[in-house]
Amino acid sequence: MQGMNDPMRQRRFLPNLSLLLAFDAVMRSGSVTAAAQDLSLTQSTVSRLIQSLEAQLGLPLFLRQRKRLVPTDAAQRYFREISGALDIVQRASMSLIANPDGGTLSLAVLPTFGTRWLAPRLPAFLSANPGISVNLATRFARFNFESEPFDAMICFGQDDWPDAHHRKLFDEKLTACASPGFLRAHPVAAPEDLHDSVLLQLETRPAAWPAWFAGQGSVPPAVLDGMLMDQFSMMIQAAISGLGVALLPDYLARIEIAEGRLQPILRQAVPGPGAYWLVWPRTKDGLGTLRAFRAWLTDCLARQTP
């Protein structure tokens, strides 16, 4: 097991958990009184724990000013690191309790992709792998796997993450759509008819509308007049409300189109400028839960249309 053959850890640099929890509580709450309440301890006990931590580390973490503890710059830096470490310990303990006999896969996903594409398919993965539990969290942008507690991420873009493996899931295809009421008021017979319309845009997809116009054999307006949004779910609701024309991944657009809340505009499923990828750090390449998830994804995509 990893870590079993490591040299003996130096106790000075591994303070007792009770000391770290007291420090974390004081930093989060801003006072010894509030920290004592959070931890169900007395104020004097919390103060002694803080003093013991300072003694073990060999430097002050707080300035004592009129019975108040004011964190030093060193304390602020230490808190950022310790808080993240405590989160990892807590998450690992929760995962073990929830699934003592199997492994855990911690996965970061794009918000709308996670709720609209992945979540409906996850029961099939869990059914086929009853010993595995999956933890999901949303992320918009790339991050450093060394500082985040994730085994992998499903992201959009290119296969250019450093020190990571990539597996393409599928290319993004784009469908423009709007509410029936919007299209009655603003009929669209050619791409140029959209030049005077409000084009809803995703912040992270600046090349999407130009790609859609190119796929229609046309050019975009010189200035894209539209509302910027950070999530497709928000864009969908804005389009349903008649605020403008949404440009959506085709797998998302099909849902609202089938329900009649949005109508497609001109050619559908136009090739977009990027793809969806499963990305994982090279250090996790042998992780059993991740191998099972990769195999399931490959099989899922081979049998289903994205």
The pLDDT of residue 118 is above 70: yes
Q: Residue 306 domain-assigned?
A: no
Tell me the residue range of the domain where 130 lies.
104-162+282-296
Cβ(263)–Cβ(257) below 8 Å = yes
pLDDT digits over 212-247, tens only? 999 999 988 877 777 888 889 899 999 999 999 999
| Number of neighbours of residue 178 by Cβ within 10 angstroms | 26
pTM given for the model: 0.65
pLDDT digits over 153-192, tens only? 999 988 888 888 999 999 999 999 999 999 999 999 999 9
Which among 159, 161, 198 is positioned nearest to 178, based on CA atoms? Answer: 198
* pLDDT, average across residues 75-98: 79
At 104, is the pLDDT very low, low, confident or very high (cuts 50, 70, 90)? confident
At 211, is the pLDDT very low, low, confident or very high (cuts 50, 70, 90)? very high
Which among 75, 13, 69 is positioned nearest to 46, based on CA atoms? Answer: 69
Residue 1: HSE in the Cβ half-sphere, 13 Å Cα cutoff: 1
> φ and ψ at 264, to 5 degrees?
-70, 155
Q: Residue 305 domain-assigned?
A: no
Tell me what pLDDT residue 222 has. 75
Counts of helices then strands in the chain (DSSP H, E) = 11, 11
* Alpha-carbon 45 to chain mean position: 38
Tell me what pLDDT residue 2 has. 43
pLDDT digits over 275-293, tens only? 999 999 998 888 888 999 9
How many domains is the chain partitioned into structurally?
3
| Residues 52 and 183 placed together within one structural domain of the fold | no
| Residues 78 and 216 placed together within one structural domain of the fold | no
Determine the Cα–Cα distance for residues 17 and 14; give it in Å rounded to an integer. 8
More confident residue, 202 or 103: 202
Which among 210, 184, 182, 212 is positioned nearest to 198, based on CA atoms? Answer: 182
Which among 222, 250, 253 is positioned nearest to 239, based on CA atoms? Answer: 253
| Residues 147 and 202 placed together within one structural domain of the fold | no
More confident residue, 194 or 13: 194
At 8, is the pLDDT very low, low, confident or very high (cuts 50, 70, 90)? low
Secondary structure of residue 26 in the 3-state scheme: helix
**Interior/surface letters 42-51, b for 16+ CB within 10 angstroms, e for the rest:** eeeebbebbe
What interhelical angle do 17-29 and 32-39 show, nearest 10? 130
| Structure tokens given for 184 | 């009655």
- Mean of the per-residue pLDDT values for the chain? 87
More confident residue, 28 or 148: 28
Calculate what percentage of the chain has a pLDDT beyond 70: 92
* Alpha-carbon 302 to chain mean position: 25
| Residues 64 and 203 placed together within one structural domain of the fold | no
Tell me what pLDDT residue 12 has. 66
Q: Residue 190 domain-assigned?
A: yes
What single-letter amino acid sits at 149? P
- The CA angle 133-136-141, to the nearest 5 degrees, is 145
The pLDDT of residue 70 is above 70: yes
DSSP state of 186: S
Strand-strand pairing, 270-281 and 228-229: unpaired
| Residues 60 and 148 placed together within one structural domain of the fold | no
Determine the Cα–Cα distance for residues 147 and 54; give it in Å rounded to an integer. 25
Calculate what percentage of the chain has a pLDDT beyond 90: 45
**Domain end point (choices 59, 83, 98):** 98
Tell me what pLDDT residue 1 has. 42
Determine the Cα–Cα distance for residues 247 and 177; give it in Å rounded to an integer. 7
Determine the Cα–Cα distance for residues 103 and 129; give it in Å rounded to an integer. 10
Tell me what pLDDT residue 98 has. 56
Tell me what pLDDT residue 189 has. 93
The domain spanning residue 136 has which CATH number?
A: 3.40.190.10
At 9, is the pLDDT very low, low, confident or very high (cuts 50, 70, 90)? low
pLDDT digits over 244-259, tens only? 999 999 998 988 999 9
Of how many residues is the chain composed? 306
Cα separations in angstroms, 210 against 4, 206, 216, 270: 55, 8, 10, 11
> φ and ψ at 191, to 5 degrees?
-55, -35
Q: Residue 5 domain-assigned?
A: no
| Number of neighbours of residue 304 by Cβ within 10 angstroms | 8
